[in-house]
Structure 1
Amino acid sequence: MPERKASPAASSAYSYVELGSQHAHQAELAEECALAISYNDLNQAVMMVSPHHLQDFAVGFSLGNGWINSIDDIYDIDIRGLASSREARLEVSSRCFWAIKQQRRQLAGNSGCGLCGVDALDQALPVLDALPGAPLPPLEHLQGLRDRIGEQQQLARNSGALHAALFIDAQGDIRLCREDIGRHNALDKLIGALARERIDSHGGFALVTSRCSLELLHKAVRAGIATLVSLSAPTALTVEWARRHRLNLIHLPHHSSPRVYSPAPVNEESA
């Protein structure tokens, strides 16, 4: 499943003038495209994504949504199209394809809504297996990490407007960085890259440059990532679910020490 590597120049230059001035400037703006995703020729979703690392996204999107259980469930990925319209055609195992079709039937509803009824609540608040639990990363692996992230974000360096998800291994080295206009998409791309490159996440952690919402937790737990670090504070519900599912959840503030929200502090009840 070869894929052309993303170029740091995945952006376009546009002219603008500052309000009150007639002098023209140029800025690099992030690109995006519509990506239609299908499984065994059955259309499943259309997502707005940054047009790079699309195979990583297709794999991570499938894993993160629970539509496949393993990279081995995907037999082939065919990326088609150019410019603002792309397709990701996945050939998956018959077992996974049956589950995808069942989910489509459950979520069928009014075309004007996004998620409908009780089944939609089940999807938004799914039953997930708890992780086995893992030690917290050493403090030194988090110190200075904000500065190191900037060195990895090649696309955002040109245009901004991009979220990033990174994997830091057990030695504290940044192994992977994936960027996208969508924070969910960036994590999907990272999960897909870990699966495609068969990188063992044991002892490492994922970092997202966005706020940490419940959907990101779902993806991390399904991918078996033991520790999730975010540059923005998590929501209260995300902390509750992280503790329930034994996911280490850490917020990395700008000017203070890392804040561990999960596991809960041992003296929390007496505080």
Structure 2
Amino acid sequence: MQSASASRPAEQWRAGRALEPFTRPLPRETAVGLSLDGRPHTVLMATPENVEDLARGFVVTEAIAAPADIAGVTIKEEERGLLVDVRFAPGALARKARPRNLEGRSSCGLCGVQRLVDAVRPLPMLGQGARIAHAAIPRALAALEAEQALGRLTRATHAAAFFDAEGMLVLVREDVGRHNALDKLAGAMMAVGHDAARGFVVVTSRCSFEMVEKAVRIGCPILVAVSAPTELAITKANEANLTLVALARADGHAVFAGGERLFEMEPA
């Protein structure tokens, strides 16, 4: 079984200092295909640790069955993830599980596809797109902070914003769900015809693989996250030629993939 974490290299940028290589431990993110008595039900994106607990808890919290109705849980490791089957005791009156049409992401876990093959799909390869100065990132973070009206009011939402290559704010959207905020931003950009390849996206959250997937599918070459990425997010970013920056703060950030799109000084 996979471990719960893995260490990946990155480069730390600080204003006025050279890039410094370092290694950071990151959580693993794996597709977990959940079946109920052999019938595929959903795919959850989860850390591959205590997966039996995850399956039992899911069945109970989704009101599918009572704890006493669970006869056992089997786990099988596949190339694309883990297959987990929850077996019910003979005569158990398992309730009908609510239907699921989208993949159960680690951000919410509320809906899911049924097959592992559909959970982590191949991504298109990005072109070169924009290049930005390292200093554009803290400039963007400051601008985004000033525009999070709902976040300041509630302290309970995430934001996703698009910036031009100079770090000037173009659009921002907020939502209680980080992936929802990014979807809202993507829709707003499409509505007014903004070319995602000409700038970069900042999200006020950690970066799991679906955030990378969304950025790639709208054609954005650079994704900046306030918190850390998962190992799978870095893997998918490298596969798609996406520049992935995380742990972004006013005084610096870490580059986990695609550092060639970042430069120290504005070109002459």
Q: TM-score range by the shorter chain?
A: 0.5 to 0.7
1:211–1:118 distance in 2 versus 1, CA, 3 Å: closer
Q: CA shift at 1:155, angstroms?
A: 1.3
Runs of 4+ in 1 over 6 A off after TM superposition: none
Partner residue in 2 for 1:209: 204
* Percent sequence identity over aligned pairs: 38
Q: CA shift at 1:202, angstroms?
A: 2.5
Gaps of 5+ in 1: 1-109, 266-271
Q: Is the 8 A contact 1:209 1:232 kept in 2?
A: yes
Partner residue in 2 for 1:190: 185
Distance 2:119 2:152 in 1: 34
Normalized per residue, the structure richer in strand is 2
Q: Which deviations, in whole Å up to 9, do the C-alpha atoms of 1:208-262 show, x marking residues without a partner? A: 0010110111111111111100000111110011011101101143365221111
Q: Which deviations, in whole Å up to 9, do the C-alpha atoms of 1:55-112 show, x marking residues without a partner? A: xxxxxxxxxxxxxxxxxxxxxxxxxxxxxxxxxxxxxxxxxxxxxxxxxxxxxxx845
Which AA in structure 1 matches 2:187?
Answer: G
Q: Which deviations, in whole Å up to 9, do the C-alpha atoms of 1:139-175 show, x marking residues without a partner? A: 1211343332211111112112010000001232101
Partner residue in 2 for 1:159: 154
- After superposition, residues 134-153 of structure 1 pair within 5 angstroms as 134=129, 136-153=131-148
Distance 2:200 2:215 in 1: 10
Given candidates 209, 228, 232, the residue that maps to 2:227 is 232
Given candidates 240, 247, 253, the residue that maps to 2:242 is 247
Q: Is the 8 A contact 1:170 1:202 kept in 2?
A: no
Matched, 1:222 2:233: no
Q: Is the 8 A contact 1:179 1:186 kept in 2?
A: yes
- After superposition, residues 7-156 of structure 1 pair within 5 angstroms as 111-112=97-98, 114=100, 120-134=115-129, 136-156=131-151
For the residue of structure 1 that corresponds to 2:215, the secondary structure is helix
Partner residue in 1 for 2:59: none
Q: Which deviations, in whole Å up to 9, do the C-alpha atoms of 1:99-139 show, x marking residues without a partner? A: xxxxxxxxxxx845746999532221112211123454211
Distance 2:228 2:202 in 1: 12
- Give the total of aligned pairs: 156
For the residue of structure 2 that corresponds to 1:261, the secondary structure is strand
Given candidates 145, 165, 168, the residue that maps to 1:170 is 165
For the residue of structure 2 that corresponds to 1:132, the secondary structure is coil
Q: Is the 8 A contact 1:220 1:228 kept in 2?
A: yes
Q: CA shift at 1:203, angstroms?
A: 2.6
Q: Is the 8 A contact 2:138 2:248 kept in 1?
A: no
| More displaced 10-residue stretch of structure 1: 251-260 or 138-147 | 251-260
Which AA in structure 2 matches 1:200?
Answer: D
| More displaced 10-residue stretch of structure 1: 183-192 or 216-225 | 216-225
Distance 1:163 1:228 in 2: 15
Gaps of 5+ in 2: 1-95, 105-111, 261-268
Which AA in structure 1 matches 2:205?
Answer: S
Q: Is the 8 A contact 2:227 2:247 kept in 1?
A: yes
Q: Which deviations, in whole Å up to 9, do the C-alpha atoms of 1:17-58 show, x marking residues without a partner? A: xxxxxxxxxxxxxxxxxxxxxxxxxxxxxxxxxxxxxxxxxx
Q: Is the 8 A contact 2:207 2:229 kept in 1?
A: yes
